[in-house]
Every structure is written in structure tokens, then in C-alpha cells.
């Protein structure tokens, strides 16, 4: 959003290591809170756009059943109670920003046979927003197959149209664009900035024991007729989805090193590139925390394009508001 002229006025992040990375990269003293559930909506500064992600956790129907048994009326807002999504609704209801941008996994649309997504959209519409959504694959911009749902809403009538989004041809970007060069250069230990490079650290190469285990695991599941297992790729390939569990064994994206060597994990810097972060993005945390953060991140170029598409409609809403006042 800052890339299209916005300015961040508030951030909430409950993980202390993610806050550490945030502060290392954004040093303008912008406020950052912890758990959003502990933040009163009135303590959040006024804003024009709310950006958020939330877990696709079960939306319990037990409370609704109880309300029915007592003869009480209920709606989508009641059904969203008790979930982190409800905090999105809580802040939107208090501040009434002109627009919002939400992100979630593709399966949000099918979770609980579509009931969860019905609650999400219904609650947003119930508080007065016009809602649009689209599943977008980061592979249009990055060498990674990563499908995520993007939900956009406007408080007033808008001509926003996802069909006008500009998506490059899938597959144009290969892993060669994010991998370290073949001469084996890699980031040094510590907070990484551009130019801080050193010889390849062997810690990213899988041990023979782990590699043998992963191959046996894959063979076992292949025999059972399912697709579980590790994935070994090279510079001309597209990666599978980077996940927050990547720090455990790296099995979803292993880089072929040839010459009879075991494959290696992506380095944190390569993971940053795979998510669309520039090389001057500082990584001040351990490899484990970095893998978790990039695995949980949005694909930056996807949301840069969505922000570009939203911008004229946000401006239009602001102009309409000024005229009305």
C-alpha cells in the first residue's frame, strides 16, 4: 500500500520474532502492537484502508444452535464471534475505513463445506461493505506455485473489478532468478544486508541420514498411491508452496546439488526472494524464525498489483467523502 502512496499508521503482530524483523526494516517509529485481541479499536489511529490476514480456524456453530434454542436472533456477526476474523470486523465497524484488503489460504472458500467463507463474506457485507474476491497464484510473479485468496472491500459503491488485474504469464520466472549464483555464494551469519556474502554454508545441505529418510518416506507413500513426499528442484523449475514448517526438513523445496551430493534447503535469503522481498530486506532473526516468517508471508508482488488496482477506487471514495462533507 505504501508503494501506491499510502502510509502505515498502525501494525499489530503477536509474534515477538516477527516484530523484531518488522522493526529492523521499518525504523520510522510507527506504532506496532502485540495481540490484536488485546487492542481496543479506539486505540487504533483512524485509517482509510485496513489490511489483514487471519487463521482459517473452525467457526463453531454451537453458539448459533444455542441462540436458536433460546429463540434469539442471530446473524453472520454472531457466528464470527470467538475467531480472529471477528477482530477484523471489530476494527472495521469502529473506524469504517473506505476499503480493506484481506488475505487467506485458497481453502478458505471450501472450509467446512463453504460455510466458513459464507460467514466471512456475510459478516463483511453485514457491516456495509461491497465485497470482491479472487484466488491468485503467486506463480504469475514468482517461481513458486502459491494460491491465495485475496478479498477486497469498499464501504461505498465502487467499480473495482478483479478482471482488470494485470497478471504476467505463469512460468516466466524460474528458480534461477532467486537462487544464489553457481559459484556458491551465500549470505553470512547474522543480520543480512546486500553485499554481506560468504562461501556456502554446508549447514543447508541435508545430512545423509535425513536425505535417506525423506526418500524412504516418499517411496512409502508413492507405493500407497498418494503424493506425499519431498520435492527436489533445480534452476529451471518452479517451486512448490513455501510453508511455515520449512525449518523442519525443507522437504517441500529441496535444491539439487548434483555430483552425488544430498540436496540442500533454500537459504533464508532465497526464501525472501521467493516471496518477492528485495535483497536489502534485513533478516535479523535465526534461520528457524526466518523460515517461519517467510512461509507465513504474503507474496509481495501479488499484493503490490492488487494495491495498484485498488488505488484509483480508494482515491475516488476519498473524493466522494470530501464532497459529501
User: Rounded CA gap, 77 and 127, in Å?
Assistant: 9
Return the closest-CA partner of residue 123 out of 89, 155, 149. Answer: 89
Q: Residue 144: what are its φ and ψ, rounded to 5°?
A: -150, 130
Calculate the alpha carbon distances from 152 to 133, 258, 276 in Å: 6, 45, 21
**List 8, 51, 56, 230, catalytic entry:** 56
CB atoms within 10 A of CB 50: 18
In this structure, the strands spanning 11-12 and 32-33 are parallel
Helix (H) or strand (E) holding 71: none
User: Rounded CA gap, 325 and 321, in Å?
Assistant: 6
Q: Are 245 and 295 in contact (CB under 8 A)?
A: yes
| Set of cell numbers at residue 182 | 553457481
Helix (H) or strand (E) holding 233: strand 232-233
Instruction: Give strand pairing partners of 131.
Output: 153
- 271 has catalytic annotation: no
CB atoms within 10 A of CB 267: 23
Active site residues: 56
Amino acid at each position: 500500500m505504501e508503494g501506491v502512496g499510502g502510509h502505515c499508521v498502525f501494525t499489530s503482530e503477536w509474534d515477538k520474532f516477527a516484530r523484531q524483523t518488522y522493526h529492523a526494516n521499518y525504523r520510522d517509529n510507527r506504532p506496532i502492537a502485540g495481540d490484536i485481541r488485546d487492542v481496543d479499536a479506539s486505540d487504533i489511529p483512524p485509517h482509510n484502508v485496513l489490511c489483514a490476514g487471519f487463521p482459517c480456524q473452525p467457526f463453531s456453530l454451537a453458539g448459533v444452535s444455542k441462540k436458536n434454542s433460546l429463540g434469539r436472533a442471530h446473524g453472520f456477526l454472531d457466528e464470527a464471534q470467538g475467531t480472529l476474523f471477528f477482530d477484523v470486523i471489530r476494527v472495521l465497524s469502529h473506524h469504517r475505513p473506505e476499503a480493506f484488503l484481506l488475505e487467506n489460504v485458497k481453502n478458505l472458500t471450501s472450509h467446512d463445506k463453504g460455510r466458513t467463507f459464507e460467514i466471512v463474506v456475510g459478516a463483511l457485507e453485514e457491516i456495509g461493505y461491497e465485497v470482491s474476491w479472487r484466488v491468485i497464484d503467486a506463480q504469475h510473479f514468482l517461481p513458486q506455485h502459491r494460491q491465495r485468496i485475496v478479498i477486497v472491500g469498499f464501504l461505498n459503491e465502487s467499480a473495482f473489478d478483479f478482471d482488470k488485474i494485470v497478471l504476467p504469464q505463469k512460468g516466466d520466472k524460474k528458480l534461477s532468478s532467486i537462487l544464489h549464483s553457481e559459484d556458491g555464494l551465500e549470505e553470512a551469519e547474522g543480520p543480512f544486508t546486500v553485499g554481506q556474502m560468504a562461501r556456502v554454508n554446508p549447514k543447508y545441505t541435508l545430512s545423509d541420514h535425513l536425505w535417506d529418510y525423506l526418500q524412504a518416506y516418499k517411496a512409502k507413500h508413492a507405493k500407497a498411491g498418494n503424493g506425499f513426499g519431498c520435492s527436489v528442484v533445480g534452476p529451471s523449475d518452479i517451486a512448490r508452496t513455501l510453508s511455515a514448517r520449512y525449518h523442519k526438513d525443507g522437504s517441500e523445496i529441496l535444491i539439487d546439488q548434483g555430483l552425488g551430493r544430498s540436496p540442500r534447503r533454500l537459504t533464508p535469503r532465497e526464501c525472501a526472494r521467493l516471496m518477492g522481498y528485495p535483497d536489502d530486506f534485513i533478516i535479523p532473526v535465526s534461520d528457524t524464525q526466518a523460515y517461519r516468517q517467510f512461509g507465513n508471508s504474503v507474496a509481495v508482488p501479488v499484493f503490490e498489483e492488487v494495491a495498484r488496482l485498488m488505488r484509483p477506487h480508494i482515491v475516488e471514495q476519498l473524493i466522494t467523502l470530501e464532497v459529501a462533507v
